[in-house]
Structure 1
């Protein structure tokens, strides 16, 4: 009994001490002039204000506290940005101060800390890898060489849908699109298509999916300081298991590539290089600015498959909800491309309405609704003090719905991206130069795969509505359910299930 009383007293002393310390820090923060902030609770700070869909919770708070406000998520200081003007301050005006991404606890076990490009600190290695991605891995020449891969996978998807249409069977659109984007990325990276068998590409796909889930989930170790070295949720254990499995799988694939490269030397019929071949070329280049080792190659995870599939699914859902827009898009394809051949990537430049539809989809449904950064030094933004290691959430979802910058912001209107002559407005770009529209981020840490993502999304969507009518199976009163699902990504709450009806078939037999 005495032991119990002792523990209770210790807990009360600890609780009172915590409250006093937080009160002292609150006074210090007031003197430092932090952005506006809602009332906080001891220990958890403002965590209780976040719902299962964080970007929506942040948006509601911004309506009350403004476009820049401060939160304490547990023991982690954070600021939330919800306007284009504030986003520009963080992503352009003071970009170098906010070029880092948060160092999550699970990454210490999950990845190769010195070689992780996605979450690695801004520095010489990161700059080298970004330049490498933009010039060689995901540059125009590489994407052109791998165009047949993307074309073949889109045709494969359409043939599968055609079989379902002939059998009058509904399809889960998201599942089909995920398979498409997985196959495109897997073939481009390691030269293998994902399948249901025991293929290496399928194993990597499953492991990359697991990695994304571990990074996206809420981890107490990242937010409550006294849980920092505890593994209450098992993330560290799962991260170590992932690291071992992924490392072994990548070692096997790299070794196989090296053997194949030895056999191909001197042959005239060498295959088109995938991205792994390009990385091996660089690792063998003694004049390379930075020599890539095994861990560097393994640390470059194939990503972006889920986000591209999600974007196409949202776009199709919006078109089904807006038949007039769907018909206008089909008419544009029939007029410009015709009814005797399948839409190709080279046609997209002339399909202005399709481009506008994709932009409008990315405005309302950005696959990455929150852009994450972390301050690398103490700085001042718009008169407010931002301390070093402050986590920054830029709410691109809210920015795309800002009524101060978008007329009828909740309405799906692709025409807003076209001028009076029907041409795409160049000033409303999705590549990060326009801070009203940030689906791929902006600045140094913007998505290096933007060009690839746009090619896949635009061409896939255009070919799907060119070849098929999409009749809704699920939904109330014939309306498409547009509810968002929980998590840090913008997945749909409920799958889009449609019955495809063939319009015509321009596919090669």
Structure 2
């Protein structure tokens, strides 16, 4: 937790820094934000124009949101800037965190060929020859889902969450006044020996029996303020990982680092570098299995 606090304070100091590099970074950040909002605006306006023309929209999240928020294509019923806020937030939050999850998963799979074998066996059995992932298939990918959950425990893309007490709270004999800011370290919670067997080991089997870990496992936070994209993120990761396991094999580039860096999200320090090859028969993944 101390390390995360130091990173947070460092970022805060950079925000106020007059140094040229930090000024340049802030300008680039503002330019990127402006560009993202413009892209969001173009996407939304394009879809709204298609709605007005009575066209059938593509099957994606933005289309469903607009068709719910803009009945009969009446663009006057929405706050466009607010819609852009939501669109950009959903895109950035969903893309970044899920990408971190996938990268960390591939890194761990590179260190655990026995886990890869179990995943490929399950994926081949569930998807069959065509490799199509239906919604009904997701509940059958139990081991694949367990691997993703273990990655979220071991390498949570969101290392901390911030909360504020609405009123005075007494917890474990400690009095917390109202309006006290609290930092909850998701990473530390998920490494508690009292709740996780061998917490420093990557062990997907711990999630085959459910998620009852006394609220110590909270990669999406908890309660009424938990991540609204939790279900979507897991479905996205399940489909992508099943497709990858079905069609490819991955070998880590020699010298690949397994360190992480906290920068908004917690991600592999040197990214995820792997050699990608067409899928091999299961018997080739682990000799003599």
Structure 1-normalised TM-score? 0.47
The aligned residue for residue 210 of structure 2 is 426
Query: Does residue 485 in structure 1 map to residue 261 in structure 2?
Result: yes
Partner of 1:470, secondary structure, is: strand
Distance in 2 separating the partners of 1:320 and 1:249: 36
Q: How does 1:215-254 map to 2 (within 5 A)?
A: 218-220=11-13, 233-234=22-23, 241=31, 244-254=34-44
Deviation at 1:297, TM superposition (A): 0.8
Query: How much does 1:311 deviate?
Result: 0.8
Name 2:117's counterpart in structure 1.
327
Between the aligned partners of 2:120 and 2:33, the Cα distance in structure 1 is 46
Query: What residue number does 1:271 align with?
Result: 57
Give the corresponding residue for 2:229.
449
The answer to whether residue 257 in structure 2 is matched with residue 464 in structure 1 is no
Contact 1:369 1:395 in 2 (8 A): yes
Q: 1:282 to 1:239 in 2, by over 3 A?
A: farther
Give CA-to-partner distance per residue, 1:363-398, whole Å, 9 cap, x none: 111111111222344433333232344322111111
**CA RMSD, 1 decimal:** 3.3
Instruction: State whether residues 249 and 280 of structure 2, in contact with CA within 8 Å, keep that contact through their aligned partners in structure 1.
Output: no
**Match of 2:53, SS?**
helix
Aligned residues: 269
SS in 1 for 2:268: coil
Distance in 2 (CA, whole Å) between partners of 1:293 and 1:413 is: 46
**Partner residue, 2:82:** 296
User: In 2, are the aligned partners of 1:348 and 1:354 still within 8 Å (CA)?
Assistant: no
Partner of 1:405: 195
Pick from 89, 95, 98: which aligns with 1:305?
A: 95
Q: Is the contact made by 2:260 and 2:267 (CA closer than 8 Å) also made in structure 1? A: yes
Please name the residue that 2:133 is paired with.
344
State the Cα distance separating 1:341 from its structure 2 match.
Answer: 2.0
Q: What is residue 48 of structure 2 aligned with on the other side?
A: 258
Using the TM superposition, give the Cα deviation of residue 474 of structure 1 relative to its aligned residue in structure 2, in angstroms.
Answer: 2.3
| 2:284 matched residue in structure 1 | none
Cα 1:231–1:295, aligned 2, differ >3 Å: closer, same or farther?
Answer: farther
Secondary structure (helix, strand or coil) at the match of 1:404 reads coil
* C-alpha contact (below 8 Å) 1:319/1:326 kept by paired residues: yes
Instruction: Pick the aligned partner of 2:207 from 396, 414, 417.
Output: 417
- Report the alpha carbon displacement of residue 400 of structure 1 after superposing the two structures with TM: 0.9
The 3-state SS of whatever aligns with 1:325 is: helix
Q: Assess if the C-alpha contact under 8 Å between 2:261 and 2:268 holds in 1.
A: yes
Going from structure 1 to structure 2, the CA distance change for 1:415 and 1:443 (only over 3 Å counts) comes to same
Contact 1:376 1:389 in 2 (8 A): yes
Q: Which runs of 5+ in 2 are unaligned?
A: 282-289
CA contact (8 A) 1:470 1:500 kept: yes
CA drift at 1:410: 0.5
Distance 1:238 1:321, change over 3 A: closer
Q: Answer with 247-256 or 322-331: which moved more.
A: 247-256
Shift of 1:272: 3.6
In the superposition, the TM-score normalised over structure 2's length comes to 0.78
Task: Show the counterpart of 1:366.
Answer: 156
Instruction: Specify every segment of 5 or more residues in structure 1 that has no aligned partner in the other structure, as ranges.
Output: 1-48, 59-72, 75-216, 419-424
Helix, strand or coil: the match of 2:184?
strand
Q: Which has the higher contact order (CA 8 A, sep 6+)?
A: 1
User: Match for residue 254 of structure 2?
Assistant: 474
